[in-house]
Chains A and B, each alone.
Chain A
Amino acid sequence: MNEISKVVREYIIREYVPEGDDREITETTPLISSGLVDSFSMVSLLRFLEKKYAIHIPDADATPEAFDTIERIVTLVRRFQKAEVGSV
């Protein structure tokens, strides 16, 4: 598991997994479709990612599909990290 995956996973477990819920969260665990994170809660996750990685993810790219697993979130973060670097 890479560094971004670890950070995102820790954040999701801390903020979204209910107390006493011992389900395993892997890089491919469905987040949105499982109902663990809903489309409203996604906004605080988005805000966390933008702040943590100093990136801006446009609304058009912040779709439930793109946030459905840690794996996809990592892909999204990397894409915009590159975009930020490219824009300097």
Chain B
Amino acid sequence: MHTPASHDELTATFDWKVAERELGYQPGRPINIGWMCSDRICQLGMGSKLALGWEDYLGNQKKFTYDDIRILSNTIARFLSGLGLRVGQRVCLFLDRVPELYIGFLGILKTGAVAQPLFSAFGEESLRVRLADAGTSAIITQKKHLYKVRKIRERLPNLEHIIVIDADTASLQEREIAFAMEQAPLAEQFSVYPTMAESPSVLHYTSGTTGQPKGAQHVHYSIISQYLTAKWVLDLRPEDIYWCNADPGWVTGTSYGIIGPWANGITQVVLDCGFNAKRWYEFIAAHRVTVWYSAPTAIRLLMKEGAEIAREHDLSNLRHLASVGEPLNPEAVLWSQEVFGKPFHDTFWQTETGCIVITNLPGMPIKPGSMGKPFPGITATVLDPKTYVPVNRAGVAGLIALRPGWPSQVRAYWNNETGFRAKFKNGWYLCGDRASIDPDGYFWFMGRDDDVINTGGHLIGPFEIESALLGCPGVAESAAVAKPDPVNMEVVKAFVTLKRGFQASDELELQIMNNIRMRLSPLAMPQEIEFVDTLPKTRSGKIVRRILRCKEFNEPVGDLSTIMED
């Protein structure tokens, strides 16, 4: 669709107003993502078009047209309003990939409340930290996750309503309410709250090096970039059947698993199923998926299962493939070319950017291993890490930085202005990653610029893991760092010193691993624990993770003199 020349032309003449026009948005007038993704599509005459084809691992299926999601999101919105929820209050979605998650997201936004999706595999401690920080008023969950909420509810004074989508009233306790979306009286009409461009919409939690996770606050105007990047980068066309692997507990799952495709009036399909190569290929074949947005970890798992299993299925409808979450290694690009007859197009972005910012547009020559070029409308560069001035020399590494001002840029970190301000230097937003730019303008990822661990495309903060490790039996001190991994790019490794009276053993290691998995999440679980006598520290006693990380990556530690004096 796009040629290299057209990328340059698009960049030269680009204006986000093209998306405003296509979405019918007039500056200064209300804009509501919930309405834009459902009612607007129906008004365009596509009410009977399939919006969501859903399937679970058992093969159960459900189908929802755009008119269905309009009415059902109205129904949820009316229910939430009936509870007395007010504009701007946070409503958490703590659900597996069930239809209520996707439709509920729109319903929350229609009321003017803020949607706070959280990954349903989070353990109670990860959940508590995020709900407490956001002062969340209501949580929508399902029976299987209710026990986690019950464990922490007494420590969450703001949590007024616990809404359970699949429970009988009789089995529920105080403050818990049963709400079955498809059994509820339908709301044909709902007066959508007239949110404005800068009204808060979504609160996604992301991790940093220090402190607990930060709530990245997005606004309704973000749909402008999510709509256009979904259309141009994912090359979505009216006849497409689109599948995004990502869970809406993470930003990809909302920006491109809900908002992007539905703002474009696209049919999307969802598979609520863990990784299973055969099942995934069957799903693509059965639904005739044409555009697939996946992740390097998933692609590498598919590679591990072999090409033969892919060839047993009719995947000929696949037209465009894209990937996000971590750098796509050249082998994965070449493998997909060989197996699917087309390459995966790498895309780079993060929770704070809200939309794809560096990418391989369809038709652009792909350099396997490269992140691609900035999306038109995004000014990206790499900065000198000391001066924060653009490097401006091909091949020289620096900090990936973006000129602020694109529509879906994060507006704040919830309750954390200092952390938010620290993300900006010299008029640039710092992504926290390092890269170089080649003479053709392609970006080449080099790694994180901090201690955050990118595992399977998810950013995990070491502080949260270390805090949890200290709650494990026998643990005196701990440091969590990244360790290279052939499938997940990085996994968590913990270095632990033990309290007097405890002995290092395989059993203790397994006990600690399971403890972290249940309290935080499987992603945060150290895949390896090394018991050590001491941890490297600065003179003031701060643990120096960098030394441990470099050891894992077999990299030189470099000059530590200033760090050790800290």
User: Chain A interface (Cβ within 8 Å of chain B)?
Assistant: 15, 18-21, 30, 32-41, 43-44, 47-48, 51, 59-60, 63-65, 68
Contact = CB atoms under 8 A, between A and B. Distances in A.
Contact of A44 (B146, B304, B456, B525): B525
Contacts of A44: 510, 513-514, 517, 525
B313 to A, nearest CB: 15
Interface stretch (B20-28, B272-280, B322-330): B272-280
Nearest to A64: B275
Interface residues of B, number: 39
B514 A33 contact: no
20 contacts: A15-B514, A32-B276, A33-B273, A34-B57, A36-B274, A39-B297, A40-B456, A40-B491, A40-B517, A40-B525, A43-B525, A43-B527, A44-B514, A44-B517, A47-B506, A48-B510, A51-B510, A64-B277, A65-B276, A65-B278
Contacts of B148: 18
Given A33-B274, A33-B275, A40-B522, A20 B513 contact: no
Contacts of A47: 506, 509-510, 513
B46 interface: no
B305 A35 contact: no
A44 B301 CA distance: 18
A35 B273 contact: yes
Interface string B477-488: 000000000111
A58 to B, nearest CB: 12
B98 to A, nearest CB: 11
B152 to A, nearest CB: 13
Contact of A39 (B143, B275, B518): B275
Given A64-B301, A65-B305, A38 B522 contact: yes
A32 B278 contact: no
B459 to A, nearest CB: 14
A65 B277 contact: yes
B393 interface: no
B144 interface: yes
Given A39-B275, A63-B305, A68-B276, 13 more contacts: A30-B57, A33-B274, A34-B57, A34-B274, A35-B57, A35-B96, A35-B121, A35-B274, A38-B121, A39-B297, A43-B513, A44-B525, A64-B275
Nearest to A37: B274
